[in-house]
Amino acid sequence: MTTSSGHTTAILASKVKGTAVYNDQGDKIGTVEDIVLDKQSNQIMFAALGFGGLLGIGEKYYPVPWSLLDFNEDKGGYVVPLDKDRLQNAPAYDLKDLTKHDGSLGDIRAETYDYYSVSRDWH
């Protein structure tokens, strides 16, 4: 996103992995496990969040639109504007399903963006 003045801010992908994620009540709910990049366009497909211990889900990964993650300097982590219920009931997948090459990934992305009510900005 570029502001009218052309301002934009960026972060290195290597800095993101392992960063803590908080919900909108300020509770730490998990970490960014990885970021899934479209191979052919300049699109970030989604962040893959892990809620591991806290929610007791284990190995499942939660795809979340990257644009929903707001870095909070005070917390040193990302805040997502979602409560626990919304996240706990969100679409979750095995990591291998998030980089599959069989066309199902497009469906996963569409389902994810719809779930979080984020408009589809790919083409």
122 near a copy of itself (CB under 8 A) = yes
67 near a copy of itself (CB under 8 A) = yes
Cα 2 to Cα 100: distance, rounded to the nearest angstrom? 31
Site for a copy of itself in 39-58 (CB under 8 A): 39-46, 48
Identify which of 59, 44, 53 has the alpha carbon closest to the alpha carbon of residue 1. Answer: 44
User: Are the beta carbons of 32 and 92 closer than 8 angstroms?
Assistant: no
82 near a copy of itself (CB under 8 A) = no
Q: How far is the CB of 73 from a copy of itself (least distance, A)?
A: 11
Instruction: Pick from 4, 8, 89, 117 the residue near a copy of itself by CB under 8 A.
Output: 8
Cα 58 to Cα 37: distance, rounded to the nearest angstrom? 23
| Other Cβ atoms closer than 10 A to 57 | 15
How many chain residues touch a copy of itself (CB under 8 A)? 44
14 near a copy of itself (CB under 8 A) = yes
Instruction: Pick from 24, 38, 94, 114 the residue near a copy of itself by CB under 8 A.
Output: 38
Cα 93 to Cα 45: distance, rounded to the nearest angstrom? 14
73 near a copy of itself (CB under 8 A) = no
User: Are the beta carbons of 46 and 66 closer than 8 angstroms?
Assistant: yes
Q: Which stretch binds a copy of itself (CB under 8 A): 6-14, 21-29, 49-57, 81-89?
A: 6-14
